[in-house]
Structure formats: structure tokens, C-alpha cells
Chain A
Amino acid sequence: MDQLLQHLLNGLLLGSTYSLLGIGLTLVFGLMNVVNFAHGEFYTLGAYGAFAALVAASLNFFLAIPVAILAGALIGAACERLLLRPLRAASIDTTMLVMIGLWITLQNAELLAWGGVAKSVPTPFPTEPVAWGPVSVSRLRIFVFVMSALLILGAHLVLTRTRLGRAMRATFQDRETAALMGVSIERIHTVTFALGAGLAAAAGALLGPVFLLYPSMGDLAAQKAFCVVILGGLGNFVGAAVGGLLLGIAEELGAGYVSSGYRDAVGFVIIVLMLLVRPSGLFARAERVG
């Protein structure tokens, strides 16, 4: 029983990291319809950004995180202006390929800049874990879990309750009408992408200290993010959150009770079953599936 409880706790924590990775991508992929293969790189930039702020600028840990988020958002905005705007008329596959090019370029630039040696981010939390009866967890992970939940909630509120959020949803549902209603389409595109990149950077800044920093850290993150986003329904924050938790718990239980080697396979099988049962994702609103 103790083992099961610990597994469930592990799964919840792991799942929350997947949810956090998904919310940035669901904006860019779900709303903007851009297959952002570079999502993992904004995650990595956020992690290295926080590291740089901590080590080079000796900033406080809790300040380094928003600095990293801002850096990620700004770089995201730049990428949107320089790469996506000129190709606005191009097909979704062309933009996908440009994102692939960006992914390759950014990752190799990081390798060149930081080297291949993994870096560890110092945190102000004590390493002694907290014990809750039969299970234990570290304070850092509790902090990350709480922050993830706040970020997901915050993003959801921005999208549904603010004018900016309304403008965003309007732009991606019907561009012409939104423009007629006075929305600056170009700006919304840039802001949305920047927001997505910023959320990815937030994930990196929060998860970097939990794991380690190395240039290819974004690859696995991006893979999980894509699964979570599609599973939860494109553009749906709550869906991404729930999808992430489900995936995390499934993987954890699969690794614990089926086989550690086939761990990811359990996740994939769950995904396939979900897709067969609900082809448009967990929280499908009446939206185009194809």
C-alpha cells in the first residue's frame, strides 16, 4: 500500500510537470496552429536563463524565475516577428519546417554556448525531504507543483477573462472579423507566441532545478508536451492540465507495476486508447477535428 501511495504521489508530481510543459504549447499549437517544434528550446532557454541569472548575476532564486520567463517571452516575440510573420501566408507544413530549423539552430547554439556538461541549479530549499506518513517528497517539488498550478490557472484566466484573451481567441477563430472589430492581428500573433514561449521558459526555470540542465533537455519535454496538448484538446488549458496528470500517473504506475523499460509505452497505449474513445481529445469543445 505504501508503495502504491508513493507511486501515486510520484505520478501526480510527474504529471504536473507534463501539464506545465503542455500549457505553453497548447497556445501556440492549439490557437495559432503552428507546429512548434522549437517549444522544447524555449523550455531549455528558460532553464539556462534562470541558471545564468542565479550564477552570473547572483540574483535571488525567486527573482531568477520571472527574469527567465521574461527572457523566454522576448526571444519568442523576436522569433515570431522575424520568422513567422513573413511566412504568414505559407502552409502549416512550411511553418512546421521553419520551427524544425529553429529547433536545430537553437539547440546547437546552446551546445556551443554552454558545452555538453550538465549543470545543476542551486536552490534555497533544504534537501531533506518532507515525510507524510509512508510517502516523502522534497520541498522543491512541492514549490514547483504549487507554482505550476498557479501558472495553469493564471493562463486559463488570462485567456478566458481578460480583453487580451478575448482578442486572442477572436483572432484565431476568425481573423477577418476580429480585424474588423479593431483587433491588431499582427500584435496578437506576436503576443500569443511570446506568451507560449514565456510559459515554456517558466517550465524550464521551475523544472531545471529539479532535474539538470543540458542542451538536449528540451527534446523529451517537447515530446511529452505534444502528447499532452493533443490529448487534452488543442487550445484547452484545463485539458492540457488534466491530460498531463493522467499521462504522468499512467507512466508512473506502468513503470512501477508493469515494467520500467516499457514505461513510456504504457503512456502511448493510454494515449491511443483515449484517441479511439474520444477522437477530439479529453475536453473537446465542438471544434474541427481535422
Chain B
Amino acid sequence: MSTLQVSNLNDGTTTVATTFVTSGSAKVFSKTSADGTSITKSFNVSSLVDTNTGQQTININSNMSDGDYIVQVGKHTSAANAEWVQSTAVGSFIMYNYNGSSYVDSIMFTSVDGDLA
């Protein structure tokens, strides 16, 4: 495999640092099964924990620099009406899926943006 090493990219009018592109890439992504016991697609994930019904923890492989990163989370059902992320630590975060009265299992998607350690 050959490597192209460039510091800047130029489209003819605008110049940006290569780090502008790499820093803008998703640092972590995942798609997990509804029961939280398997990972369908992922990058930079070391493991998934089925914490409880409707609650899954993603453990990150190459940690984030701090807990102030952005997680976009989605679910694969229209039945539940709220999904969110909590407890964002440098090496993990917890996803929740709630239907208004209880937590419910669902296929979950996540994408993380932010700074790596």
C-alpha cells in the first residue's frame, strides 16, 4: 500500500489543511442488534454491552480526548418515541431507547464526532 502525504488540499480557489478532512471524519460508528448482543457494523468499537432492556453501552477502542464529543443516535423502529445518549466518557457511552412508559429494545445506530485522545 502506498501513502500520499500532503499537508494541504486545494480545489483551485480554497486551501484547507489535510487535518480539516481527517478531523471531520466520524471517529466511531456502530449499528447494533435490538437485543444488544451483536454488532452488525462498526468502526473504532471494542465491545458492546447489553446493559438492560433498551439500554446498550458502546466501548470505544481509540479513546476520545474528553467527554465533550458529539454522538448522533438513531433507532430502527417507529414504535419508540425517544432515544438518547448519556454518560459520555472518553472510552464509552450509553444509548437509551424509551417509548414513553418503559425502555424497549431496538436496533440502534450511532456516529461520533469530536477529538481523539
Q: Do A and B actually bind?
A: no
Q: Which residues of A contact B (CB under 8 A)?
A: none
